[in-house]
Structure 1
Amino acid sequence: MAWFAVYTKSRCEKQVALDLEALGIECYCPINKVKRKWSDRTKWVEEPLFRSYVFVNIDYVTENVTVRKARNVVNFVYWLSKPAQIQEEEILAIKSFLTDFVNVEVIGTSVKVGDFITIKSGVFEGKRAKVQSFKNKKEVRLIIESMGYELVAHLA
């Protein structure tokens, strides 16, 4: 058993999760509470954290066909020609993060702590630098390395 990312049709994440659960497949659709403002009101709504993605915990060899045949499932997400496997620790970290924070923002990451970068402007233009850390007292950040995402919660 391992966690895999499944790509769904647009705006069908919650329904895919319900359909997969009805088929006996363990799945996880991370739900984010977001404050939305309309012209006449402001309201907290629940929406999927990752658009068009649901995670399934399956034995890929025996259950991948069942997942693929579920309504509104497009396909598994692939990385280097293999289904993208998500670490159990990362799924647990997402669950814990969403329990502690609301209004979480998903940002694709390209630079990590320990990476070397070349400065493109300013006094140090052209110099290489090693990323030591990201600091901001008004944000809490959680990096999901295998997916290339960084979750950001803005604190009041």
Structure 2
Amino acid sequence: MNPWYLLYCKRSEQTRATVNLNRQGVDCYYPKVTVEKMKRGKRVQVEEPLFPCYMFVSFDLEKVSFTSVRSTRGVSDFVRFGAYPQEVAKELIFSMMSQEDNDDYREQLNDLPTEGDRCTIQSGQFEGFDAIYKEPDGDKRSIMLVTMMGKQVEVSVPNTSI
């Protein structure tokens, strides 16, 4: 089993990068989610990447080099922690793959709060704080208005924390 790595792609070029990487024998995965958007004054269902500009890749290091992957059209670079690309746990990738095909998971993503809803953060450093949902951003994280020490502070927390 080949290790998985996280790539940072050029804006809106994940599909191009996937095509070019597949030609080199690289396995690519980027989870997608269906969201409702306004287009020409009408609400439409659109499928978009769950993590814009990011893609998970797996390849045989004896056949494909880091340099050739990094130099592929549509790819910016590997996400690194230090000098070398950081490996991503295989369990995380397989878990995302299995949940993406799960209808319950899709419903959970579509059941996000709407602007102005009051909620309580259930995990992370702000656990237990009351918050007001503001808006989702491109990374499917929620920007929350958290009441802390008498004033509101904007923080970004994962959707799984609300």
Q: Secondary structure at the match of 1:97?
A: helix
Alpha carbon RMSD of aligned pairs, Å? Answer: 3.1
For 1:47-58, what aligned pairs fall within 5 Å after superposition?
A: 47-58=48-59
For 1:7-18, what aligned pairs fall within 5 Å after superposition?
A: 7-18=8-19
CA distance in 2, matches of 1:31, 1:153: 20
For 1:4-153, what aligned pairs fall within 5 Å after superposition?
A: 4-60=5-61, 62-63=63-64, 64-100=66-102, 101-102=105-106, 104=109, 111=125, 121=149, 150-152=158-160
Deviation at 1:92, TM superposition (A): 1.1
Deviation at 1:23, TM superposition (A): 2.0
CA distance in 1, matches of 2:81, 2:126: 19
Deviation at 1:46, TM superposition (A): 1.0
Letter paired with 2:69:
V
Q: Deviations over 1:120-152 (max 9, x none)?
A: 638xxxxxxxxxxxxxxxxxxxxxxxxxx8454
CA distance in 2, matches of 1:3, 1:62: 15
Alignment: residue pair count: 120
User: Is 1:17–1:29's contact at 8 Å kept on the other side of the alignment?
Assistant: no
CA distance in 1, matches of 2:10, 2:91: 26
Letter paired with 1:121:
M
Letter paired with 2:149:
S
CA distance in 2, matches of 1:150, 1:59: 32
Letter paired with 1:70:
T
Q: Secondary structure at the match of 1:32?
A: strand
Deviation at 1:112, TM superposition (A): 8.8
Q: Deviations over 1:92-119 (max 9, x none)?
A: 11112222223749xxx96398xxxxxx
CA distance in 1, matches of 2:19, 2:93: 18
Specify every segment of 5 or more residues in structure 2 that has no aligned partner in the other structure, as ranges: 111-122, 128-147, 151-156
Q: 1:84 to 1:33 in 2, by over 3 A?
A: same
Percent identity among equivalent residues? 25
Q: Secondary structure at the match of 2:101?
A: helix
User: Is 2:25–2:59's contact at 8 Å kept on the other side of the alignment?
Assistant: no
Q: 1:17 to 1:24 in 2, by over 3 A?
A: same
Q: Deviations over 1:41-90 (max 9, x none)?
A: 21111111111111111234652122112102111110133212111100
Q: 1:82 to 1:112 in 2, by over 3 A?
A: farther
Q: 1:110 to 1:14 in 2, by over 3 A?
A: farther
Q: Secondary structure at the match of 1:96?
A: helix
